[in-house]
Structure 1
């Protein structure tokens, strides 16, 4: 398969790329690095990426984050970057990319455990992850030509434990191979409209 992986140089993306690259053509896309550049906050940039690729059999996104901060001082402006990036960026990958995805192709988006188990100061991220999940459930009923869509919802992954562990006290670290397997299930399997949870 010809797979475009947005965020392929990130913590999760690198592991997913390694798991797929022995069997598939994996094209890494990123804002400033990779085989092709894309800014997922820009619909024009997304369209340009897909036009350059012409067609893909699978599109995976592991890019995007959101605001962590005190709820008492949080305002809408704090949420904007995450909404434009992790939420609308992934939504637009599907809305635009469906016209370039082959028959029977798949989208795999990334949400996260915060949709169900929000961390302290993580209301923004919880909202974004929940919205991504809901979009996947709805879009899975609407896609044509046997196209599929799923979301992988990882917990705190091993390789991010040092960086983000203080935000998630008491969370079990998720082994990277389990996270990678969730993406393999979405891309190489037959599941559709699934929120594939990898929490421990």
Structure 2
């Protein structure tokens, strides 16, 4: 990618998103997107929000998502509505981003989605997170073999961030943490590298 490449970053205000913004903005034009902040606003859970985003932004060279909500809680108490939160937000939100976004990517462009370590390392209270993250990894593998025009798609699967231990540490007993700046390197590899169908595991 050239130094003038245009990158659309969804979830730019989050912990990972901020680190990815610092990394990529050193070399690219980064358009930030968030639910309540950023150059543009978009909410995965709102019908038409992603479509409106792409109409406003136009053509880009890379799409990066570090956004998506999940439900954490005991399986015995979990309701279908709670489980559906992760399906509608982190899973279908990112899938929608890829399905619509492919038509706004310049030739050779890339899509980078975010899954997570619990897709392959389940934890208590994490049934929703495991299902969603595993599905994202599966979607990336399948989508990669159909994308035209040299388009690429990858996922980044981080473990718990060092910065997030205060909020999520109790859910991840015995897990090593990684700083957000290290996770951001995987997004750089996805955007600036040449590989597709990869899940970059930052564990």
Please give the TM-score of this superposition, normalised by the length of structure 2: 0.96
The question of 1:96 aligning with 2:100 is answered: yes
Q: Distance in 1 between matches of 2:25 and 2:68?
A: 22
Q: What is the deviation of 1:41?
A: 2.2
Distance, in Å, in 2 between the alignment partners of 1:133 and 1:42 is 23
Residue number among 79, 82, 85 corresponding to 2:86 in the alignment: 82
In structure 2, the partner of 1:114 is: 118
Q: Distance in 2 between matches of 1:123 and 1:110?
A: 17
Aligned pairs for 1:117-136 (under 5 A) are 117-136=121-140
The answer for the alignment partner of 1:147 in structure 2 is 151
Deviations 1:79-111 (A, max 9, x none): 111111100000000111111011000000000
- CA deviation string 1:47-102 (max 9, x = no partner): 11111111110000000121111111212111111111100000000111111011
Stretch moving more, 144-153 or 174-183: 174-183
- Within 1, Cα distance between the matches of 2:37 and 2:158? 24
Superposition misfits of 4+ residues, deviation over 3 angstroms: none
CA RMSD of aligned residues (A): 0.9
1:11-63 deviation digits (Å, cap 9, x = unpaired) = 00000000011110011101111000111223511111111111110000000
| Paired residues, number | 199
What is the CA–CA distance in structure 1 between the aligned matches of 2:77 and 2:167, rounded to whole Å? 24
Under a length normalisation based on structure 1, what TM-score does the superposition of the two structures give? 0.97
Do the aligned partners of 2:15 and 2:180 also contact (CA within 8 Å) in 1? no
Correspondences of 1:45-84 after superposition (within 5 Å): 45-84=49-88
Q: 1:168 aligned to 161, 169, 172, which one?
A: 172
Q: Which 5+ residue runs of structure 1 have no aligned equivalent?
A: none
Alignment counterpart, residue 197 of structure 2, candidates 185, 193, 196 = 193
The residue aligned with 2:109 is 105
TM-superposed deviation, 1:176:
2.3
User: 1:142-179 CA distances to partner (integer Å, 9 max, x unpaired)?
Assistant: 11110000000000111111211111010001132320
